[in-house]
Every structure is written in C-alpha cells, then in structure tokens.
Amino acid sequence: MAKRIRILSVAVIMLFSITGYAQDKNFHIYLCFGQSNMEGNARFEPQDTIVNSRFKVMEAVDCPNLGRAKGQWYTAVPPLCRCRTGLTPADYFGRTLVDSLPEKIKIGVINVSIGGCKIELFDKANYQSYIATAPSWMQGMIKEYDGNPYQRLVDMARLAQKSGVIKGILLHQGESNTNDSTWPSKVNIVYTNLLKDLNLKAKEVPLLAGETVNADQGGVCASMNAIIATLPNTIPNAHVISSSGVPDARDNLHFNAEGYRMLGKRYAEKMLELLNKKKKS
C-alpha cells in the first residue's frame, strides 16, 4: 500500500513539473487585438468604473499611473488596453458575460491593440517590414510592446493559460485595410498562428470580428464591412459582429462611449450564443 502511495505521489509531482500549473476551468479568458476601436478611443465615464470583481484584465504593459504591472490580473476597471487608452468593446463584453453566466465563472481579457495599424502588424513573419514603414506617431505605441505586439499577446496569453482557459478571440480592425480584399486571408494567418502558438483548437476558440462604423452612421470606412462579412468564408469559426445602429464619434471613424458599450454587448451576445450551442451539443 505504501509503495502505491509513493508511486501516486511521484506521478502527481511529475504532472505538476510538466505543466507547472493547474488551470481553473471556470476562468474564461479572451484575447483582444486590433487597432484604435479595440484600443479604445472614447473617454470612459463614471458609470464605466463600477466593475464586478469577477471580470479581470491582465495588464499587457507596465502602468505605474494605474498601479498595475505587466502580466498581472486586476479587476477590469478601464483602461483595458494600455495605460491611458479609453473605453473599448472589451469592457462591456466582459461585463455582459459576467452578468449572464453562473457566479462560479470569472472572465478575463487581454487587450493588445495599436491605433491606426494594419493587420500586417500582427503577422509574426512579416511585422518588421510593416513597422519599418509605420508612421513615427505609431512607433512609440509599438515600442511599449517591445516592438512586437503579436509576441506580447502570445506571451501574455501563455501566462494567462496558467490561470484559466482561453475561450475566444476578439478582433476589431480593418479601418486601415479598407478595400483590401485580401484582408480575410491576412486575418487567417494571425488567427492560425495564435492557435498554433497557444496550442488551441479552431473548433473550440471562435474569432469574433466587429464591423467598422456603419454606413448608417456615416462611417468613413463603412465599405470595409462588405469585406469583413466574408471572413467566415475563410475562417469557419469566425463570426461578424454588426455595427448597425451603433453610434459613433464626430470623426465617423471611431465609436463614442455609448457605441463601445453597445458593440461590446453584441460581442458578448454572440459569445453566449456560441457557448449555449456548445453546451447543448
């Protein structure tokens, strides 16, 4: 009997030496990336700072002004991207999930986004050539991720996998690739790389992609939505989040605070639908 206990103990020790951690299956993690509308362009308001402690954010950069350190989890009070960004779809995505799921479920988000960037910035094989041509005002933001936003997202995601389970990926990007018919294939490269680098399965990790400011709001990049609509043809587990009727800012390029709240809820509603389908199946 004592011998069996010793063997079992050794097996347990070996298991933890291999994994180094034990995942909490009730901690659902979502990766968020894109350009300014995922980064967060609108100022958050007092109502946005009241957050359920079950909704967490992993800080992807050091933010002394917020008392946050890179790679640590915090209650998801905005800003959720970098130290001085604004309200994003991720804010009300997480809040809606927390309000809709059982209390045992926690939600975590990791947001690595760069205002104005093309999807090429997240192509791990070609990002350096894109950075070489990026405008100077963008260079500083890229440097906050040690010059490689994609790798920072992967590094933070691997760290997050020690705590919970990655359930999905949120994308809001396309304005800088407007009218680029190859955009879906470029997104697929990033999505496929994320799955491979994080040992994820496409069937289990959907990609939710939001539309740019809609034509019904005078969106200056609204023509891109026709291309975004084709994304599921390239990525079977991709789902497009409509921006129809979502209010925007004066520049007709970014959403306003209410728009980010609405869009975030729509991301969440789609994810809840997918979770329910998986549960039934």
Q: What are the catalytic residues?
A: 36, 251, 254
Q: What is the DSSP letter of 92?
A: H
Q: Which residues, at least 6 apart from 248, have a Cβ–Cβ distance to it below 8 Å?
A: 213, 217, 218, 219, 254, 255, 256, 259
Q: How many Å apart are CA 76 and CA 174, to the nearest integer?
A: 26
Report residue 4 as tokens: 């069996």
**Order of strands across the sheet that contains 238-241:** 73-75, 55-58, 106-113, 27-34, 165-172, 207-210, 238-241
Q: Which residue has the tokens 């011998």?
A: 3
| Secondary structure of residue 63 in the 3-state scheme | strand
Q: How many Å apart are CA 42 and CA 53, to the nearest integer?
A: 23
